């Protein structure tokens, strides 16, 4: 049986996810013009040479807020001002952008709101666009639309229109998005590549590939230069409609048009080739990818390389890239360790997995149960049940706490082997998970009930019902099955009627009949 996590379907999902994060990134890139690292370094050097360092740095205070709720940002800002901080619009916007980059949208928005409401600062058009995007993310589409409607006319330019369009696209509201796009055309707002890219990726997500082609034609007609994101969107669209040849044509066209493709474009290409089973082409795309990686790209491209090399079955390349990661970065993150374990899992190399896991265990900073889950998967896949259990015991000694994945792995494994009592232990563990993480589907519930009835196991059935109660999914059917189990076992339990009432379940005709057969006199 193939492991469910690595079939072809999810890989296309991965592509789409890649695409949506990259549109996000593009919005972020197009809306604010963030300083390049080189420029930032130059500015820092100039600051060092000229003025002294900021005596009241603000960002560390904002950063330290972590995930606390609303109101906290204003408090920090007010305190900072009282202590002598000088609020300058440019600096504050820079902080807001940084918070946004780390997905702390509510804090970023609160900061911008404070600039306007508490300090009466003016928002540039670019800043309006950023604020609109944040409002959408924090308060929803309605609030973003209102904000846009309330902007002074001069601020309704390509940036703010573009930001609103991007909201509609991310909310997958096709009609509103196209209406707005046509309105922009009527108003003579120049079509920018961001707007078209946004619409294109909306159509890819909706599976309307004809529309994607149409927009690309429009782009050419209007002489809008495509970029690497355009290229990624088009490749994904072609791949989804099985037009692999069109992808190669497209790449030629991009080269002719001098579009600077980045590693991410080749990662998309490699995924597509892997999906299509074109291993050699995938490998050549990976080589191109690796050549395009720049220091700024961080670890992500290498994690990606490991994953795809594993998909094409190349252990030596996986190991080579792992070596590159270790040589290039002073610290190997748990994401990279996880990626390496996943790669080795795909390649069925349990011994190397153990080696890597031990290495991680000997130097991790904080425990990451995902890595242990990966090891458990690796062992269960080849039916090394005892090893998987003892791995978990050891992890527990180190303070590991299971998550829903851990429970699912063991549960699925034991159920598959028909070891329902061992499986039941993990159902009991599932009930200890926070709120809604623990769930059982109807199919599994049914299998347990059938098993206990057939094995006349009233104790097991009781334990199982207890789990259902804790998971909040006990119902009349569960009690019918429990009662049938009692009957099969020839056992009685005089407190069942009361328990059913306590669970607020109606004693229907069927349950009443079963209770009577068990010898319950009723009241
Ligand atoms: C904000 O803009 C208005 C109009 O452009 C201008 O009169 C005012 O001085 C500006 N305020 C600040 C704090 O820059
Ligand atoms: C190139 O595309 C990727 C996504 O595919 C994106 O993350 C990156 O920012 C783009 N680069 C530029 C310069 O637009
Ligand atoms: C490892 O993962 C945990 C949990 O996912 C996270 O909190 C921690 O910051 C990560 N550690 C490193 C070094 O990346
Ligand atoms: C969860 O269930 C398994 C199997 O019975 C057990 O080994 C483990 O100790 C339980 N609890 C925890 C906290 O892992
Ligand atoms: C009888 O049923 C109640 C309610 O389901 C349960 O809590 C109790 O453990 C059962 N008693 C026995 C002896 O099984």
* SS3 assignment, position 492: coil
Averaged pLDDT of the chain: 86
Q: Residue 344: name the closest of 379, 300, 396 by CA.
A: 379
Structure tokens at 487: 């009957």
**DSSP of 375-430:** HHHHHHHTT-HHHHHHHHHHHHHTT----HHHHHHHHHHHHHHT-HHHHHHHHHHH
DSSP designation for 224: P
pLDDT tens for residues 69-87? 766 899 889 999 998 888 8
Does residue 67 carry a pLDDT above 90?
no
CA distance 289 to 283: 10
Instruction: Write out pLDDT tens, residues 213-244.
Output: 999 999 999 889 999 899 999 999 999 998 99
pLDDT of 10 higher than 70: no
pLDDT at 54: 62
The closest-lying atom of ligand 4 relative to the alpha carbon of residue 432 is: 13
Ligand 3 is surrounded, with C-beta below 6 A, by 333-334, 365-366, 368
Most confident of 58-62, 160-164, 190-194, 439-443: 160-164
Average of per-residue pLDDT across 316-324: 92
Least confident range of 9-18, 25-34, 417-426, 486-495: 25-34
Q: Is 471 buried (19+), middle (13-18) or exposed (0-12) by CB count in 10 A? A: middle
Residue owning the nearest CA to atom 10 of ligand 5:
493
What percent of the chain is predicted at pLDDT more than 70? 88
Cβ contact 204:212 at 8 Å: yes
List, chain by chain if needed, residues with CB within 6 Å of any ligand 2 atom.
22, 25-26, 29, 227-229, 232, 262, 264-265
pLDDT of residue 410: 96
User: Which of 182-196, 411-425, 448-462 shows the lowest mean pLDDT across its residues?
Assistant: 182-196
Closest-lying ligand to the alpha carbon of 17?
2
Tell me the CA–centroid distance for residue 458 and ligand 5, in Å. 9
User: What's the 475 CA to ligand 5 centre distance in angstroms?
Assistant: 16
Contact 158, 173 (CB under 8 A): no
b/e sequence 380-403, b meaning 16+ C-beta within 10 Å: bbeeebebbeebbeebeeeebebb
Cβ of 503 below 6 Å from ligand 5: no
Confidence tier at 44 by pLDDT (50, 70, 90): very low
- The answer to whether the beta carbons of residues 205 and 16 sit under 8 Å apart is yes
CA of 456 to the centre of ligand 5 (A): 15
Q: In this predicted structure, what is the pLDDT of residue 34?
A: 33
pLDDT for res 312: 87
Confidence band (pLDDT; 50, 70, 90) for 47?
Answer: very low
pLDDT value, residue 43: 44
pLDDT for the residue 13 = 47
Residue 69 tokens, joined: 């709720």
Closest CA to ligand 1's atom 4? 122
- CA proximity to 59, closest of 101, 115, 99, 117: 99
pLDDT digits (tens, 9 = 90+) for 451-486: 999 999 999 999 999 999 998 888 899 999 999 999
Residues 6+ apart with CB under 8 A from 265: 228, 231, 232, 235
Residue 28 is predicted with a pLDDT of: 41
Residue 50 has pLDDT above 90, yes or no: no
Confidence of residue 433 (pLDDT cuts 50, 70, 90): confident
Q: pLDDT (tens digit, 9 = 90+) per residue, 351-407?
A: 999 999 999 999 888 889 999 999 999 999 999 999 999 999 999 998 888 998 999
What are the tens digits of pLDDT across the range 109-141?
999 999 999 898 988 888 999 999 999 999 999
87 backbone φψ class: left, alpha, beta (φ>0; ψ -120 to 50): beta
Is residue 320 very low, low, confident or very high in pLDDT (cuts 50, 70, 90)? very high
| pLDDT tens-place string over residues 493-510 | 888 888 999 999 888 888
Q: How confident is the model at residue 522 (pLDDT cuts 50, 70, 90)?
A: low
Inter-helix orientation angle 125-139/158-170, to 10°: 20
Q: Write down the pLDDT at residue 388.
A: 95
**pLDDT of 412 over the 80 cut:** yes
What are the boundaries of each domain within the chain? 440-523
Q: Are 423 and 408 a contacting pair, CB within 8 Å?
A: no
Quick one: which of 33, 35, 83 has its CA closest to 55? 83
Overall residue count recorded for the chain in this entry:
523
């Amino acid at each position: 049986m193939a492991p469910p996590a690595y079939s072809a379907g999810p890989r296309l999902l991965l592509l789409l996810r890649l695409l949506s994060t990259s549109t996000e990134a593009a919005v972020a890139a197009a809306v604010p013009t963030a300083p390049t690292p080189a420029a930032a370094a130059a500015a820092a050097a100039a600051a060092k040479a000229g003025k002294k360092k900021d005596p009241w740095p603000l960002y560390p205070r904002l950063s330290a807020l972590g995930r606390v709720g609303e109101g906290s940002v204003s408090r920090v800002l007010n305190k900072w001002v009282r202590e002598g901080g000088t609020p300058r619009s440019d600096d504050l916007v820079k902080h807001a952008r940084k918070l946004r980059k780390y997905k702390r949208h509510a804090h970023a928005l609160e900061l911008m709101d404070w600039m306007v409401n508490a300090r009466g600062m003016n928002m540039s058009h670019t800043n309006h666009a950023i604020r609109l995007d944040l409002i959408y993310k924090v308060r929803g589409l309605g609030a973003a639309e209102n904000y846009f409607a309330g902007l002074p006319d001069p601020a309704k330019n390509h940036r703010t229109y573009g930001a609103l369009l991007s909201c509609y696209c991310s909310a997958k509201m096709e009609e509103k998005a196209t209406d707005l796009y046509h309105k922009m055309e009527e108003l003579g707002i120049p079509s920018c590549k961001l707007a078209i890219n946004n619409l294109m990726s909306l159509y890819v997500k909706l599976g309307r590939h004809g529309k994607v082609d149409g927009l690309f034609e429009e782009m050419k007609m209007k002489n809008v230069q495509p970029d690497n994101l355009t290229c990624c969107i088009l490749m994904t669209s072609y791949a989804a409609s099985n037009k692999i040849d069109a992808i190669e044509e497209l790449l030629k066209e991009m080269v002719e048009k001098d579009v600077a493709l980045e590693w991410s474009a080749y990662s998309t290409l490699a995924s597509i080739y892997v999906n299509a089973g074109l291993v050699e082409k995938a490998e050549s795309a990976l080589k191109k990818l690796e050549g395009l990686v720049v220091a700024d790209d961080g670890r992500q491209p290498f994690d990606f390389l490991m994953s795809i090399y594993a998909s094409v079955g190349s252990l030596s390349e996986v190991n080579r890239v792992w070596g590159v990661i270790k040589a290039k970065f002073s610290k190997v993150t748990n994401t990279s360790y996880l990626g390496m374990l996943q790669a080795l899992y795909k390649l069925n190399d349990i011994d190397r997995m153990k080696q890597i896991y031990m290495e991680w265990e000997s130097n991790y900073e904080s425990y990451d149960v995902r890595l242990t889950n990966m090891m458990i998967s690796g062992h269960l896949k080849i039916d090394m049940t005892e090893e998987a259990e003892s791995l978990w015991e050891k992890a527990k000694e180190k303070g590991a706490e299971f998550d829903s994945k851990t429970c699912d792995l063991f549960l699925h494994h034991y159920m598959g082997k028909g070891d329902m009592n061992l499986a039941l232990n993990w159902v009991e563990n599932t009930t200890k998970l926070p709120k809604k993480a623990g769930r059982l589907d109807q199919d599994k519930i049914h299998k347990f009930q059938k098993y206990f009835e057939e094995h006349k196991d009233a104790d097991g059935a009781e334990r199982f019902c207890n789990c259902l109660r804790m998971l909040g999914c006990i119902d009349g059917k569960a009690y019918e099955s429990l009662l049938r189990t009692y009957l099969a076992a020839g056992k009685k339990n005089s407190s069942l009627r009361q328990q059913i009432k306590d669970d607020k379940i109606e004693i229907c005709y069927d349950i009443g009949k079963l209770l009577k057969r068990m010898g319950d006199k009723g009241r």
